[in-house]
Structure 1
Amino acid sequence: MKLKHLTSAEVKELAKLVQEKEELQEKVSEIERKIQTLWKVGIKVPKKRIEKTRVSVKRRGPEKGSIPGHLKNSILEALRKAGNEGLTVKELSEKLGVKINNLYSWFYTTGKKTPGLIKIGKSKYRIEESTVEPEAMEKSEKDEKIKNQK
């Protein structure tokens, strides 16, 4: 579009659109100021995408789920405490703070191979102490001591 060929009607239309654009920009900046004041007061508002891309510092040591046998030991300990009544997978999930699907997967794979683990109902398990190897019990007790020392 060449400026020489603009008519007065087109110039008026452009001026009107520019004015409308400025009004909208002012409204947006006012909304952003309100959001910032609410955020400072304590109401959580999602941060901008730029702030989310910060690089996090990696901590040293094993992460939560990376200790081998930790899930197995915690499941067996919880079932031992429950006694002959046993526990459902949902109850175990709530007690241990583990996702329920992870527990179902564990029982389907590792649980089948674990001596002393008995299924007593629909998604309900218990542990029979007489069939559990004493070495496994000692190992879980040692792991608990190591975990408590950290």
Structure 2
Amino acid sequence: MFLSQIKKTCYQQILEVYKKEKHKKPKKKKLIIFVSDGFENYKNAFNKLFCYAAKLVFGIPIKLQKHGVKHNNNPIERYNSDIDDRMKTMRHFGSFNGAKYFLNLRHILHNFINPHMGLKGRTPAEEAGVDLKLGRTKFLNMIKKYAKKKHHSLR
């Protein structure tokens, strides 16, 4: 389900990278990389949805990074653990949509609003090159900017 959500929201961007890189030799291609733990279901779902357009790399423990291994899935595992902990304390959403809206808001706060120490005070979106020009009061400005737009699910 998680990978299918990524496909809905990001597949066009993944395809753009793939189209630029597909003519290069396999070792020279710089495709989007997904990092996962060794859970077999992730591998099966990834191969079903993205096998040609992106790469799947299995994550490694932090202590192996000192040996020059690049990919680490611990940050996303920590994020998933934070979500789990939050969901356990807020069990009464009233509906599936209530939980979905909460998770969407949390995703927005994490990626666009809250600066991260590991990124030198920048948000993950800023680090990835997404600049929404929200200024100092990011959350308020984001609400003002997008409150006037109709949500894509309401069109």
TM-score interval (norm. to shorter): under 0.3
| Structure exhibiting the larger radius of gyration computed from Cα positions | 1
Between Structure 1 and Structure 2, which shows a larger proportion of helix residues? 1
Q: Which has the higher contact order (CA 8 A, sep 6+)?
A: 1
TM-score computed with the length of structure 2 as normaliser: 0.21
